[in-house]
Amino acid sequence: MTNTPQASSDRKGLVEVFTGDGRGKTTAALGVILRALGHDFRVCIIHFMKGNYPYGEQKTLARLPNVTLAVFGRASFVDPHNVEEEDRKEARRALNAAREAMLSGKYDLVVLDEVNVASAWGLVGLDEVIKLIEDKPQNVELILTGRYADKKLIELADLVTEMVAIKHPFDEGIEARPGLDY
Amino acid sequence: MTNTPQASSDRKGLVEVFTGDGRGKTTAALGVILRALGHDFRVCIIHFMKGNYPYGEQKTLARLPNVTLAVFGRASFVDPHNVEEEDRKEARRALNAAREAMLSGKYDLVVLDEVNVASAWGLVGLDEVIKLIEDKPQNVELILTGRYADKKLIELADLVTEMVAIKHPFDEGIEARPGLDY
């Protein structure tokens, strides 16, 4: 291992997937970002379905250089049994923004947050996400997060972690907590 | 869900464990930290076995307010088949620092990074880690990371995620990469 970051043109960027029902998918992506920024990587995060929810991470990320954050989706949560046209529009905007960021040459790391869910629920086509992965420039690292990652996405990825909930307090009626869960 | 952080005296801090063989344990803890800082939580991170390795995250964390980072362990990696006295001393210093931080009233979130491994390899006693958890003040959130979390730690924890490596490129000879893996 060397401590010298590779020039971005030489770097072999991978496709990573964080999926599963456990805590730690978006959270792990945030951790990768924190680490990447320490090596002066340029990072773009695209939120696919989170509206303008005031996540704690947005405040911290705003304090750091070299991070671009783009949030798509309505403020309310998507109902998978009743997806609205607006949800699809927003997810499509997110996908377009992701493509643009990935191909811009401006970023070393692009995070597609909750894209797995957006795809599983039909907000964007699985084929469109696959196409995005196939078009990834060699030196860009791409991270896809969210439950329900399709097996085709897992096949295409270089690194896949499934976060398995062994114990989760939300199951026992403890609500999501500011500062820790969002 | 409310967007207002609870006063630290009212907060019910949990014990979280990130374990398993997959990528994303320390990384998820870093993500929780990033989120917590956005809500002005005060954070202390204790590295149990990582020596003075120049992790990218250390550089980023140094840019942020309200984070204390304490790194223990020799610079070289611990050999589980040949644990040296110095490894044990360092891990014990880490445990003492963890206890002090946890009881100081200065921190809302204390992360014990790689403590699960330190315990599994006998650098610190499992009973000592259990005692630490049992002595946790109500309002402090405690996160334990690392492979090989003992089932007793899992029993004591409120939230446990197992990071399962579905695919991992290190298995295929790709080395750990600066900015992404450390």
pLDDT digits (tens, 9 = 90+) for B115-159: 999 999 999 999 999 999 999 999 999 999 999 999 999 999 999
Closest chain B CA to residue A38? B56
pLDDT digits (tens, 9 = 90+) for A87-131: 999 999 999 999 999 999 999 999 999 999 999 999 999 999 999
Subunit contact A180:B35, Cβ cutoff 8 A: yes
Subunit contact B163:A163, Cβ cutoff 8 A: yes
Which of A42-56, B20-34, B86-100 shows the highest mean pLDDT?
Answer: B86-100
Q: Is the pTM of this model over 0.80?
A: yes
Whether A3 has a pLDDT exceeding 60, the answer reads: no
Within 36-95 of B, beta carbons closer than 8 Å to A belong to 36-39, 41, 54-61, 63-64
Rounded to an integer, what distance in angstroms lies between the CA atom of residue A147 and that of residue A90? 19
Interface test with A, best of B14, B42, B167 (most A CBs within 10 A): B167
Cα-only R_g, chain B: 16
Dihedral of the alpha carbons of A14, A153, A120, A171, in degrees to the nearest 10: -70
Subunit contact B34:A160, Cβ cutoff 8 A: no
pLDDT for res B140 = 97
Confidence of residue B181 (pLDDT cuts 50, 70, 90): confident
Whether B24 has a pLDDT exceeding 70, the answer reads: yes
Which domains are assigned to chain B?
A: 15-163 (3.40.50.300)
Closest chain B CA to residue A43? B179
The answer to which of A6-15, A108-117, B7-16 has the lowest mean pLDDT is: A6-15
Rounded to an integer, what distance in angstroms lies between the CA atom of residue A29 and that of residue A17? 9
Q: Got the DSSP string for B27-45?
A: HHHHHHHHHHHHTT--EEE
pLDDT digits (tens, 9 = 90+) for A12-68: 899 999 999 998 999 999 999 999 999 899 999 999 987 555 578 888 888 889 999
Subunit contact B34:A60, Cβ cutoff 8 A: yes
Subunit contact A31:B27, Cβ cutoff 8 A: yes
- Beginning with the edge strand found earlier in the chain, give each strand of the sheet holding A141-145 in spatial order: A67-71, A43-47, A109-113, A141-145, A15-19, A159-167, B159-167, B15-19, B141-145, B109-113, B43-47, B67-71
Rounded to an integer, what distance in angstroms lies between the CA atom of residue A118 and that of residue B152? 37
Whether A150 has a pLDDT exceeding 80, the answer reads: yes
pLDDT digits (tens, 9 = 90+) for A152-170: 999 999 999 999 999 887 6
- Identify whether the C-beta of residue A15 lies closer than 8 Å to the C-beta of residue A133: yes
